[in-house]
């Protein structure tokens, strides 16, 4: 139950930042900035490397997976617009959106899915066991992939929604995992701008985001504030718009 509550809280933060729900700060005549306090200093902001839930909260603003898990725990289409499951429950055929690009202009397609899975299963990556629940990823055509599992796995789609962040093959290979963890590129509602260690992580709205009309703020700034009392003061004074893990 505790884990489920944490997941719902995580999804709520993602929805708030990406889809609106607050006014945020007017940083300029037409700029809406949402300021979010996080209680830890992220080790990385690549969702495949981020070692802790708050780092994941930050990272997932820049990424999408093939599917999305809503606040009720239901699986919805995301980068995959539809999918089919074989009668034996071991093959998933995903039909991908054809109108999506990564933030750097690389196309999102079946090759990107296969690459993301191959990278994600590397043992040195933080969440490799989540990616390894799939036995293989086969490219059928440019926008179709088949994902197989050794046995039927009722949890696969939920784990995919939480951990399978799609990454651009060319950029990821060019910069390597360490740099990618510091300057990630995804397909998500926000794009990386800067990371000033122990001070702030800044993202700007992805103007070409595939979900029409989203995101609803122009900028998100994550501010690490380790002390719960300081986070409480920050929300009370209007220094930030969202806080979590408060002690009462």
Q: What is the pLDDT of residues 74-121, one digit of tens each?
A: 999 999 999 999 999 999 999 999 999 999 999 999 999 999 999 999
Strand positions, DSSP E, 47-199: 67-69, 75-77, 80-85, 91-96, 136-141, 144-148, 190-196
Please report the sign of the dihedral spanned by the C-alpha atoms of residue 186, residue 190, residue 193, residue 194: negative
Q: Which two tokens stand for residue 246?
A: 């408060």
Higher pLDDT, 248 or 85: 85
pLDDT at position 14 is: 47
Q: Which residues of 67-85 are buried (b: 16+ CB within 10 A; e: fewer)?
A: bbbeeeeebeebbbeebee
pLDDT, residue 240, reads 97
The two beta strands, 219-224 and 32-38, are: parallel
Show the CA angle centred on residue 6, arms to residues 233 and 94, nearest 5°: 130
pTM of the predicted model as reported, rounded to 2 decimal places: 0.86
Q: Give the mean pLDDT of 190-202.
A: 96
CA separation for the pair 226, 57 (Å, rounded):
15
Pair type for strands 136-141 and 75-77: unpaired
The predicted structure's pLDDT at residue 192: 98
Does the pLDDT at position 187 exceed 70?
Answer: yes
Question: For residue 78, what pLDDT is reported?
Answer: 98
Is the model's pLDDT at 44 over the cut of 70? yes
What percent of the chain has a predicted confidence (pLDDT) above 90? Answer: 81
Residue 159: helix, strand or coil by DSSP?
Answer: helix
**Mean model confidence pLDDT for the chain:** 89
Digit-coded pLDDT (tens) for 210-233:
999 999 999 999 999 999 999 999
Question: How far apart (Å, rounded) are the C-alpha atoms in residues 119 and 133?
Answer: 14
**Distance from the first to the final alpha carbon of the chain:** 21
pLDDT at 6 over 80: no
CA-to-CA separations, 14 to 55, 125, 166, 174, in angstroms, rounded: 12, 23, 17, 28
Evaluate if residue 248 carries a pLDDT over 80: no
Mean pLDDT value across residues 132-138: 97
- Using a 10 angstrom Cβ sphere, with 0-12 exposed, 13-18 middle and 19 or more buried, the burial of residue 137 is buried
Q: What is the spatial order of strands in the sheet that 144-148 belongs to? A: 80-85, 91-96, 144-148, 136-141
- Whether 20 has a pLDDT exceeding 60, the answer reads no
42 and 62 in contact (C-beta within 8 Å)? no
């Amino acid at each position: 139950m505790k884990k489920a509550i944490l997941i719902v809280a995580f999804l709520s933060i993602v929805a708030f930042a990406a889809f609106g729900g607050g006014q945020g700060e007017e940083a300029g005549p037409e700029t809406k900035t949402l300021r979010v306090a996080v209680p830890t200093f992220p080790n990385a902001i690549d969702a495949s490397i981020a070692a802790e839930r708050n780092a994941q909260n930050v990272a997932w603003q820049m990424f999408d997976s093939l599917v999305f898990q809503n606040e009720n725990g239901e699986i919805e289409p995301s980068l995959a617009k539809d999918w089919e499951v074989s009668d034996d429950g071991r093959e998933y055929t995903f039909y991908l959106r054809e109108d999506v690009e990564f933030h750097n202009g690389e196309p999102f397609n079946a090759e990107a899915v296969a690459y993301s899975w191959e990278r994600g299963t590397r043992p040195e990556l933080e969440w490799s066991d989540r990616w390894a629940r799939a036995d293989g990823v086969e490219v059928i055509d440019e926008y179709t992939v088949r994902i197989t599992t050794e046995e039927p796995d009722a949890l696969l789609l939920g784990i995919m929604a939480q951990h399978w962040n799609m990454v651009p093959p060319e950029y990821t290979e060019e910069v390597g995992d360490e740099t990618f963890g510091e300057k990630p590129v995804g397909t998500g509602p926000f794009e990386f701008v800067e990371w000033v260690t122990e001070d702030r992580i800044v993202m700007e709205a992805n103007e070409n985001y595939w979900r029409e009309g989203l995101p609803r703020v122009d900028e998100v700034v994550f501010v690490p504030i380790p002390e719960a009392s300081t986070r409480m003061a920050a929300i009370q004074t209007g220094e930030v718009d969202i806080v979590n893990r408060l002690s009462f």
